[in-house]
Structure 1
């Protein structure tokens, strides 16, 4: 369920979302579109992204789909430039894209490690680098980096992924310190276990979900739309003096 709150200052803002075609990203794309933002989203998956864009059009909303593989930094930069050319300087960037593939320590090669980081950490920096000049020229902006609670709970099955997600917290604080004088705020959101289609297909079991919900303070499954409200808050002037922070959204699991 999308949040009912409206942030008038977001209307007409140029918003760029990475990984915005499915899962949490699709909910974010829709959520910002419902605020009246000019939304562009980058995703590698054409079919899912075009389906999302069509569904939004049918609902009287719009979002510009830009296909790119975030491991290709030149393609990423080109997509960011196209978003700015179409909608004006990006003043809200949501670095959401991620790939939480499980892997055994003994099986990780150098190439696998580098490819994993190239999806889960490296694009966060280079997308921020691409939009920062436009944000400065526009008088400020908000960058929201999606981390994860996985490294906080010592998740054992994806060490490269958890390393990347921990790195996002450090990147967030470093960017916040550097870009703050230009009125650019940089924060992170660390979601808990969100019931996306991918999670349900690959890893959710009745016993595992039941045990997880028992550890949450709020005894409900987290849905992708539950991340929209916190993200809108960090993007809007409601969080005007909030930067270099990590907002944990996990129903009280931690």
Structure 2
């Protein structure tokens, strides 16, 4: 991966990324490591091999902590462990999500609660966990991953779409409440990023063609296309930017 910008203030910064060992999250972890940041990432599956790969490639090993983000006490403990290893977390990237397809009429109360626990609830409690350290450090940046799915009104996964709309509301509420502490909170809404999971499960040729037809830029998104925006939001280059939603989708939706 090649980065087009270097942010001096990210060198040595303590960064915490949920879902940071695969898909978009893996590219985010690598991007921060290339900036010289001290990265902790959590996920349910074993990320040791990825951490080994990053250490060999960049001579900067991320700290992997196995954690199910729906387990709030475990998530808060992971933040404490990250702070013990790297200093207070000053950049939080709430990236982990699950966009499992489902018909609205098939959802049970248990399905809904499970989906929201991953796609919305964990974001709040991760933010809550890093907030005291950010206050002590004099500020920080929280980046909440949303999605253009709710802007498009996509069908086929209404619980996920609802959560992503909620993420932008949460982002604005936290930005207002914590702004006096110099904690910035922004959302980033990617378009359809063709991770291996997407290619394996849902990216049919017909759907890919239809999506690209709606885009201004006629290239499909790759995970590394999202990294630059996240680094910008994390850095002092965006120091007066908060309570905003940045869209990176090749021009599928229009904001403003």
| Bucket of the pairwise TM-score, normalised by the shorter protein | over 0.9
CA distance in 1, matches of 2:30, 2:243: 26
Consecutive unaligned residues in structure 2, runs of 5 or more: none
The 8 Å contact of residues 2 and 226 in structure 1, kept in 2 or not, is answered as no
1:15 aligns with 2:15: yes
Name the residue aligned to 2:140. 141
Aligned length: 252
Secondary structure of the residue that 1:121 maps to in structure 2? helix
Secondary structure of the residue that 2:152 maps to in structure 1? coil
Q: Cα deviations across residues 156-181 of structure 1 (Å, max 9, x unaligned)?
A: 00000000010000000000001100
Deviation at 1:19, TM superposition (A): 0.8
In the TM superposition, 1:63-212 aligns within 5 A as 63-212=62-211
Deviation at 1:51, TM superposition (A): 2.2
Name the residue aligned to 2:29. 29
CA distance in 1, matches of 2:213, 2:113: 36
The 8 Å contact of residues 151 and 166 in structure 1, kept in 2 or not, is answered as yes
CA distance in 1, matches of 2:37, 2:81: 16
Deviation at 1:3, TM superposition (A): 2.1
Deviation at 1:211, TM superposition (A): 1.7
Q: Cα deviations across residues 21-62 of structure 1 (Å, max 9, x unaligned)?
A: 11001100000010000000011111xx22211110111231
Name the residue aligned to 1:5. 5
Name the residue aligned to 1:225. 224
The 8 Å contact of residues 19 and 25 in structure 1, kept in 2 or not, is answered as yes
CA distance in 2, matches of 1:84, 1:108: 38
Name the residue aligned to 2:56. 58
Normalization by structure 2: what TM-score? Answer: 0.97
CA distance in 2, matches of 1:192, 1:22: 17
Provide runs of 4+ in structure 1 moved above 6 Å: none
Alignment root-mean-square deviation, CA: 0.8
CA distance in 1, matches of 2:49, 2:250: 30
